[in-house]
């Protein structure tokens, strides 16, 4: 037995059962009217006959609402609705992406899942969307430390390469709570004007802030409980508990993944890759979250991530 022998990776009915358990912990919810009444399970319903499937395909997980009388499945209103890929393959894809520390390329996904490259590419981006956090609660707080740092990655379109500078690259700002989550942002430039609004919007005022000596952070001490810096230009990296090792550790995994696995990343997709690395870091094994739990957490994020998702009236 291995993780991969779990039924929901192979059997479509088991896959539906698994996803329903996670998305509907209190029982089925009608996608159309939100009703949680006793809905009917429609068994043995098949899709229309086609050339490929002359007898149609069994429609798993189909329910009929006892209030509005419409049919629905747990796929509706989630990223799963956007392709015809069987649900058990989606679960394989989510597991692969959640358990690969540096990510998994769309090429590898395409080979493992035996789907087209185009489908694999699409899946990967949709799973990143499921992993994306809404950052609704502040990081840090009383007695907590948040480290902030910036890095440069890839190449901006139309910019000549300049040695030793970051001006031809994309700028990333990352906030890491020690022993907690990471939040990364693709910013236009490492300037006070671009960085500080994000810092203010994401970190609780009672937090102890730690950064390098970059001048953009010089007023942090006025807005947060404290602000201490290490002077990297003077080879100072750790002074007691003052350091930025957590955020640098995050960047080390992020850069190895972006160089080794993803290689090319369009500027307008960078925020999705950041969401993926943030997600795995924020749900890492050091926090007691193993591959299986991480996959369940990603699954819980598939709801409401569709652009066409119908908002409750
Ligand atoms: Zn209904």
Residue 30 confidence (pLDDT) above 90:
yes
Separation of CA 182 and ligand 1 centre (Å): 38
User: What average pLDDT does this structure show over 20-47?
Assistant: 93
> Would you say residue 308 has pLDDT above 50?
no
Calpha distance 163→294 (Å, rounded): 39
Mean pLDDT of the chain: 91
The predicted structure's pLDDT at residue 235: 87
* C-alpha neighbours within 13 Å on the C-beta side of residue 97: 35
For ligand 1, an ion, list residues with CB under 5 A: 30, 32-33, 35, 65, 67-68
Q: Give the number of other CB atoms < 10 A from CB of residue 231.
A: 11
Using DSSP's 3-state secondary structure scheme, residue 194 falls into helix
Q: What separation in Å is there between the alpha carbon of 19 and the centre of ligand 1?
A: 19
pLDDT (tens digit, 9 = 90+) per residue, 78-99? Answer: 999 888 899 999 999 999 999 9
Q: At 111, is the pLDDT very low, low, confident or very high (cuts 50, 70, 90)?
A: very high
295 CA distance to ligand 1 middle (Å): 29
User: Stretch 122-129: mean pLDDT, rounded?
Assistant: 94
Residue 162: pLDDT above 70? no
Residues 6 or more apart whose Cβ sits within 8 Å of residue 26: 36
When pLDDT is averaged across residues 211-235 and rounded to a whole number, the result is 92
Q: How many CB atoms lie within 10 A of CB 42?
A: 13
Q: Determine the distance separating the centroid of ligand 1 and the alpha carbon of 29, expressed in angstroms.
A: 8
pLDDT value at residue 93: 97
**Residues near 283 by beta carbon (within 8 Å), at least 6 away in sequence:** 289, 293, 294, 297
Q: How far is ligand 1, taken at its centre, from the CA of residue 297, in Å?
A: 27
The band of 267, judged by pLDDT with boundaries at 50, 70 and 90, is: confident
Q: What is the rounded CA–CA span in Å between residue 207 and residue 219?
A: 14
pLDDT for position 158: 65
Q: Ligand 1 center to residue 37 CA distance, Å?
A: 9
Ligand 1 centroid from CA 24, angstroms: 15
Q: How confident is the model at residue 159 (pLDDT cuts 50, 70, 90)?
A: low
- Per-residue pLDDT, 161: 65
**Distance between CA atoms of 276 and 132, rounded to whole angstroms?**
7
Give residue 12 CA to ligand 1 midpoint distance, Å.
24
Asked whether the predicted pLDDT for residue 18 surpasses 50, the reply is: yes
Give me the sign of the Cα torsion angle 64, 70, 122, 284.
Answer: negative
Name the band, by pLDDT with cuts 50, 70 and 90, for residue 107.
Answer: very high
């Amino acid at each position: 037995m291995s993780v991969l022998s779990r039924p929901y990776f192979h059997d479509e009915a088991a896959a539906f059962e698994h996803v329903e358990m996670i998305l509907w912990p209190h029982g089925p919810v009608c996608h159309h009217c939100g009703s949680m009444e006793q809905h009917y399970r429609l068994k043995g319903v098949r899709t229309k006959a086609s050339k490929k499937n002359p007898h149609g395909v069994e429609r798993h997980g189909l329910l009929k609402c006892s209030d509005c009388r419409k049919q629905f499945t747990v796929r509706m209103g989630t990223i799963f609705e956007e392709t015809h890929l069987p649900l058990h393959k989606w679960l394989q894809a989510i597991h692969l992406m959640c358990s690969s520390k540096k990510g998994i390329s769309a090429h590898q996904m395409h080979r493992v899942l035996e789907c087209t490259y185009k489908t694999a590419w699409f899946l990967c981006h949709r799973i990143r969307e499921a992993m994306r956090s809404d950052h609704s609660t502040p990081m840090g707080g009383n007695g907590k430390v948040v480290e902030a740092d910036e890095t440069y990655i890839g190449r901006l379109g139309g910019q000549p390469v300049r040695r030793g500078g970051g001006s031809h690259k994309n700028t990333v700002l990352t906030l890491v709570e020690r022993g907690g989550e990471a939040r990364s942002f693709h910013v236009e430039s490492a300037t006070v004007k671009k960085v500080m609004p994000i810092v203010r919007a994401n970190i609780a005022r009672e937090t102890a802030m730690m950064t390098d000596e970059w001048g953009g952070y010089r007023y942090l001490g006025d807005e947060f409980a404290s602000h201490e810096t290490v002077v990297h230009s003077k080879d100072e990296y750790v002074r007691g508990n003052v350091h930025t090792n957590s955020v640098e550790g995050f960047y080390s995994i992020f850069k190895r993944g972006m160089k080794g696995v993803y290689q090319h990343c369009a500027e307008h997709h960078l925020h999705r890759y950041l969401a993926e690395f943030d997600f795995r870091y924020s749900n890492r094994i050091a926090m007691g979250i193993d591959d299986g739990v991480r996959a369940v957490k990603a699954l819980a994020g598939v709801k409401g991530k569709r652009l066409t998702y119908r908002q409750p009236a």
